[in-house]
Structure 1
Amino acid sequence: MSHSPSRDTVLCISLAGRPGTFGVRFHNHLYQQLGLDYYYKAMTTQDLPAAVAGIRALGIRGCGVSMPYKEACLALVDEVDPSAAAIDSVNTLVNSAGHLKAYNTDYLAVRQLLAERRIDPATGFALRGSGGMAKAVASALRDAGFGDGIIVARNEQAGRQLADVCGYRWLPELQDRCPPMLINVTPIGMAGGPEADQLAFSETAIAAAERVFDVVALPARTPLIRAAEALGKPVITGLDVIALQALEQFVLYTGVRPTAEQVAAAVAYAREG
């Protein structure tokens, strides 16, 4: 798939500590399918303030923000959407004539998935993780009315802080507790990572759970998701999240909402990368 940028092409970028290919392929595929003169490129930086200043100075329309920049970006923008303000974490910047507005489409995607799957807010859950994405997921659960939650995090300070902000409990380990919904928001199970082959929760907890949610997108079928599917449990995958959040970014950047078929084709193409 080729696109030759011209002097009129609108540039969108992403900033990540470890740039991936999903966003590049997803956005560029949709630009071409919809005949939009846009181009998307993944980047990294050692100087975030300078990079954000560059977005303004060069007229870059949009920027996806990944770890480790999600919280530091807040101090560098002009306006913060409620989706980002609620959790002090940014994953999307939109540049309108030099005015930078920060959003969190991870939060918006999780809210949408919880609603689409019609998950009862009375469902108790355990969420493993305490970083920026964990904040997005926990805040989405809180704002959707989920009241009975445990934040499982080895980092006591971050874990307690997230639990306190959202009105949940903190535990360093789940131990023998078996909540109905298990949510992994750590790199456990991520391809190429040190814990790629590990389960984020015990086999006992998975067997007892009613539903499993893993935000790790690569691979889409992590060890946790495979274990849940083998037991016939309904799952939400990281691919579900990344596709929805990327779609919301696309709409913010272009003002165009693709059809479900166009989005599915873009996701399939992005996954080949």
Structure 2
Amino acid sequence: MAIMPSRDTTLCMSLAGRPGTFGVRFHNFLYDLLGLDYYYKAATTGDLPAAIAGLRALGVRGCGVSMPFKEACIPLVDELDASAAAIDSINTIVNQDGHLKAYNTDYIAVRQLLDEHAVPVNTPFVLQGSGGMAKAVACALRDAGFSQGVIVARNRLAGPALAQACGYSWQPELGGLRPGLLINVTPIGMSGGPQAQDLAFDEAAVAAAERVFDVVALPADTPLIRLAQSLGKPVISGAEVAAIQALEQFVLYTGVRPSAEQVRLAAEFARG
């Protein structure tokens, strides 16, 4: 039975330009399953400094941070964990008695998935995107030892800056590149978005690739993932990233690490 929120309930939340349901369902499912007096809520804001000040003032224990706030939050917190400081992007804030410390569990999730899927570090890759999540993925690739990479981004400031920071090259369009690993870190294919039915990469590029990584979490089977699977390509999905990063947030907020089976159940429920 779900624990009813009370004045003693610990509140956690997330801030996003377009709030989703995955985090809400994932965290609250585990709170109920483990009998923790916590409650999680998603929100957006037009006044980010006031929202972050509210975390501190109201004693909100933890806050997930999504697009477009991952970089804008940095000057508003008190401390950066190494996972966030190394890439100048955050996705998690933990409030310890009014002291706000920021982390990046996206980075942790990507590093873990590259290992779990045994992606060879000598695989040339293209990463499409240049925002906060793209930073997390690019830095995870760099730190894992991937040296042959191209950042593809139309933003002629953020794209080259990300490429330079990680030691990769940059170009505004994919063009004739046919790398072994294709990585989409844009909203293309995201449920409810204007490009929900679009492919992040053209079919010829997918056919030539050895594997595909789509960071879009909802739906789990984006148009890019479906095409790659139909062509027999190994894939890494955004749903996998979402589950791992949410788990690490959960541990930071509660100090409790659920079992693998409990996490599987929570992720299935969150995607349902």
Please, what TM-score do these two structures have when normalized by structure 1?
A: 0.98
Quote the residue 2:199 is aligned against.
199
Aligned counterparts of 1:193 and 1:36: Cα–Cα separation in 2: 34
Aligned counterparts of 2:61 and 2:179: Cα–Cα separation in 1: 43
SS at match of 1:156: coil
- Find out whether 1:84 has 2:84 as its counterpart: yes
Quote the residue 2:4 is aligned against.
4
Quote the residue 2:117 is aligned against.
117
Give a deviation string over 1:114-165, Cα, whole Å, max 9, x none: 1111111111100000111111100100011100000011112111111000
- Find out whether 1:142 has 2:162 as its counterpart: no
Partner amino acid, structure 2, of 1:185: V
Partner amino acid, structure 2, of 1:74: I
Aligned counterparts of 1:72 and 1:3: Cα–Cα separation in 2: 34
Compute the displacement of 1:2 (Å): 4.3
Partner amino acid, structure 2, of 1:75: P
Partner amino acid, structure 2, of 1:127: L
- Find out whether 1:94 has 2:107 as its counterpart: no
Ranges in structure 2 where 5+ consecutive residues have no aligned partner: none
Partner amino acid, structure 2, of 1:62: G
Aligned counterparts of 1:188 and 1:99: Cα–Cα separation in 2: 36
Aligned counterparts of 1:196 and 1:25: Cα–Cα separation in 2: 22
Identity over the aligned pairs, expressed in percent?
A: 73
Superposition pairs of residues 183-262 of structure 1, within 5 angstroms = 183-262=183-262
Give a deviation string over 1:29-86, Cα, whole Å, max 9, x none: 0001001110001111111111111111111100001111111111011110111111
Aligned counterparts of 2:103 and 2:132: Cα–Cα separation in 1: 13
Aligned counterparts of 2:95 and 2:73: Cα–Cα separation in 1: 13
Aligned counterparts of 1:196 and 1:69: Cα–Cα separation in 2: 22
Quote the residue 1:151 is aligned against.
151
Compute the displacement of 1:255 (Å): 0.6
Quote the residue 1:181 is aligned against.
181
Aligned counterparts of 2:55 and 2:152: Cα–Cα separation in 1: 37
Aligned counterparts of 2:44 and 2:68: Cα–Cα separation in 1: 10
Compute the displacement of 1:256 (Å): 0.5
Quote the residue 1:132 is aligned against.
132
Aligned counterparts of 1:77 and 1:56: Cα–Cα separation in 2: 10
Give a deviation string over 1:151-196, Cα, whole Å, max 9, x none: 0111121111110000001011121121000000001111222211
In the alignment, is the contact (CA less than 8 A) between 2:3 and 2:35 conserved in 1?
Answer: no
Compute the displacement of 1:101 (Å): 0.3
Please, what TM-score do these two structures have when normalized by structure 2?
A: 0.98
Partner amino acid, structure 2, of 1:123: T
Aligned counterparts of 1:96 and 1:215: Cα–Cα separation in 2: 30
Give a deviation string over 1:3-23, Cα, whole Å, max 9, x none: 411111111011111111110
Quote the residue 1:74 is aligned against.
74
Quote the residue 1:25 is aligned against.
25
Aligned counterparts of 1:251 and 1:63: Cα–Cα separation in 2: 13
Residues paired across the two proteins, number: 272
